[in-house]
Structure 1
């Protein structure tokens, strides 16, 4: 089968499509023939050598796919050969076939074809699990950065569906308009003093929940923006890994700072998240509460161009590799 191979850590040019041995499903696993694979920022970090897969996972990049179940390993119930699915992975997605733990393969969202569906599960699972952890409630205020990207676009809409007031940041007027179109109550450029603007629109109270993909760069500002009993949940570190927290400021707010990830969770936790997403989030996609974000597709052979596009920061919505 054909798969993307990274010969050595580096820029997009290190990505190569080569023939590799096809995987075989083991106990509790299914083999999926891939139609399309989502492209995520974690993929860029893995390509650069900064985000290795968990022990035992495929070294091939790719955290989500759509396709058809091709073979069942022993002890698999609830899935059938030929069934369309979307799957959450710890690795292996940039390939014509991938082995998936059965609990992490679910039916695609109703009304989505398999190319459109390829970029939905990872962002839905990330956002659902993060906001469930943070206990975002109706009437609270929610902040997400990169509101025009895959995670941000989904988080804006899901937080609105939960009844929150949503604040988003983005880097251009077009992207800010996109955030507002998705339902953001306030959208500010991260090139301006966004923290001061947020204090202004919240009358100085701040925000109840921050979904933070920046890490160290915004850590001090985020702690300063937390409302009483506010929760800062770090899911990425595009702005660096090491920062300093004023514990006195955090204590005064009774604030919480947490860092969670999806990729390295135990299989039972990821299967539970996938079940919740299919049961609670797919209906919101089906009835239009959460709208599809813009999709940019690339052929598998053009994977380097797909990485360049995501790295540029110019893309709106999700990038997907068409594999089949």
Structure 2
């Protein structure tokens, strides 16, 4: 097969499309012939050498979410058959023509969704469901603040939280991004380049905050949260070391949590897949969710996709398709 390899850590130009060994199919795995692959921030971290894949995943092929057809099944596979159209969460290897994945980490492509749209679902939907709903315990009529509302994670969080009856607020970098978030169901946006989000939103009831920034947002998040509020971290792009006011947490009875998904065990991802299929897939198939795809690139041009993501000029998702 062909795949996008990280030839050395560093710049996007180190992503090279070329021949690579076919993946092997374990007894509980399937092989997917990839039709599309989503691009995510962790892919950039891996390219730079800051996010190594877990044991068993390709060390030099990025990519955490794919869609396509199953072309091979392991001897113990019971859920799928050859020819099934699926999307899947993978621990790596998504920027390729084929990938192996545990059968329990696959989902059927939602009715009415293209391969490209389906490839943009797993990484963001799994991340949002686990962090906002399982860890953050977001409830109907509560307020959710999403930092980076126009990102793939942000646009996913807006729509799922809205469909579940929550009110969603976002921070964004410009008016265009903010208006895009409003169109997806957000109540209000704050342009963090011109306004202080903690001032603009202080009269809105914020119960859960999904933060990928960290740094000096930390104390402002604590100030903004309602009593019993939950602060959930999925990244720390603005800095991982912060000053913690323990008394404030005690007085407001706050919960601070966070997670990474890639290295979690097979059984955890299987359980999460089952819950998403039962609770999120019906929302998606009933028209409560759409994938805002900003740009598509052939895999041979993965470097361009990474440069676009690093520029933060996109709204929603960036997707790759195999190069002919």
Give the TM-score normalised by structure 2: 0.96
Distance, in Å, in 2 between the alignment partners of 1:236 and 1:251 is 24
- Output aligned runs, 1:1-324, within 5 Å: 1-59=1-59, 60-130=61-131, 131-191=133-193, 192-199=195-202, 201-202=203-204, 206-323=205-322
Distance 1:300 1:187 in 2: 34
Per-residue Cα deviation, 1:272-315 (whole angstroms, up to 9, x for no partner)? 11122222212212221123323411001110000001111100
* Cα displacement string for residues 154-213 of structure 1 (whole angstroms, at most 9, x for unaligned residues): 1011111121121111111111101111111111111121111111x32xxx52101111
1:200-227 deviation line (CA, Å, top 9, x unaligned): x32xxx5210111112341111112121
Aligned partner of residue 216 in structure 1, secondary structure: coil
| Aligned structure 1 segments of 4 or more residues deviating by more than 3 angstroms | none
Counterpart Cα distance in 1 of 2:56 and 2:290 = 36
RMSD: 1.2
**Contact conserved, 1:110 with 1:282, CA < 8 A, in 2?**
no
Gaps of 5+ in 1: none
Quick check: 1:30–1:73 contact (8 Å CA) kept in 2? yes
Q: Distance in 2 between matches of 1:115 and 1:196?
A: 39
8 Å contact kept, 1:57–1:90: yes
Structure 2, unaligned stretches of length 5 or more? Answer: none
Task: Give the whole-Å Cα distance in 2 for the aligned partners of 1:284 and 1:301.
Answer: 34
User: Distance between the aligned counterparts of 2:256 and 2:129, measured in 1?
Assistant: 18
C-alpha deviations, 1:245-287, integer Å up to 9, x for none?
Answer: 1111111110011121211111111111112222221221222
